[in-house]
Amino acid sequence: MQEQKLIDYGPLAVLVGTWEGNKGKDLAPEPDGTEHNEYYETIVFTEAVDLANAEEERLSAVHYTQKVKRISNNKIIHQETGYWMWQQGTDKVMHSLTIPRGICVLAGGTSSQQENTTIFSVAASLDNEQCPIIQSSFLVQKAKTKSYKQQLQVSGNTLQYQQNMLLDIYGREFDHNDKNTLTKIK
């Protein structure tokens, strides 16, 4: 019988599972102002892989899917899929995400531990070659994402996050932000 190697997910291990939250707050741009949405969501993180890049960089990854629905009408307002990756033996993390509006982000940052809380902080911007934002030509012309920042805090069965996307939309800059508190249900 062949011995199976266990993957070291490091700080990502706290994410694995199904999380639900119904306290979401979304500030989104409108042509004549700001739209405020309350939402609920489910995020499912699953163990993915560990691998080596160029036989030097050791990465562990968890895959996730996120589905967000507006509380007022149960309409899906956001879907996302991607990976959280940890560079083994360091505090470096990456978050790659795809939103089916024609945008992909590779945000980089760090993980840290404060008492019983694991904190992930990542960022990306248009002018950062290491942590870029890629978007369709329509978005570049009409709703350009200039920067992305996200912080997750996981403590026991509670995950809190805040994310900000600086948009150039409707002839102005807009800080589109979302925040929620989720509970691990399995």
What was the pLDDT predicted at 92? 97
Nearest alpha carbon to residue 62 among 47, 77, 72? 47
Name the band, by pLDDT with cuts 50, 70 and 90, for residue 6. Answer: confident
Does residue 86 form part of some domain? yes
Across the chain, mean pLDDT equals 94
Does residue 175 form part of some domain? yes
171: domain CATH number is 2.40.128.20
Burial (CB count within 10 angstroms: exposed 0-12, middle 13-18, buried 19+), residue 152 = buried
Torsion sign (Cα): 147, 111, 86, 101: negative
The single residue listed with the structure tokens 């912080």 is: 151
- List CB contacts of 121: < 8 A, sequence separation 6 or more: 109, 110, 111, 112, 149, 150, 151
- As a whole number, mean pLDDT of residues 133-149 equals 97
pLDDT digits 0-9 by tens, 72-121:
999 999 999 999 999 999 999 999 999 999 999 999 999 999 999 999 99
pLDDT at 70 over 50: yes
pLDDT at 20 over 50: yes
Burial (CB count within 10 angstroms: exposed 0-12, middle 13-18, buried 19+), residue 53 = exposed
What was the pLDDT predicted at 166? 97
**114-147: buried (b, 16+ CB within 10 Å) or exposed (e) per residue?**
eeeebbbbbbbbbeeeebbbebeeebeeebbbeb
Does residue 5 form part of some domain? no
- As a whole number, mean pLDDT of residues 156-160 equals 97
Beta-strand ranges (E) seen in the chain are 17-30, 33-53, 57-70, 76-87, 92-99, 103-114, 117-125, 133-135, 143-155, 158-169, 172-184
What was the pLDDT predicted at 178? 96
pLDDT at 134 over 60: yes
Domain that holds residue 49: 10-184
pLDDT at 147 over 60: yes
Q: How far apart are CA 134 and CA 73, in angstroms?
A: 31
pLDDT digits 0-9 by tens, 29-69:
999 999 999 999 999 999 998 888 888 889 999 999 999 99
Q: Which ranges in the chain belong to alpha helices (H)?
A: 137-142
Does residue 4 form part of some domain? no
Total tally of structural domains belonging to the chain: 1
Does residue 3 form part of some domain? no
Q: pTM of the full predicted structure?
A: 0.92
Question: Which residues face 156 on adjacent strands?
Answer: none
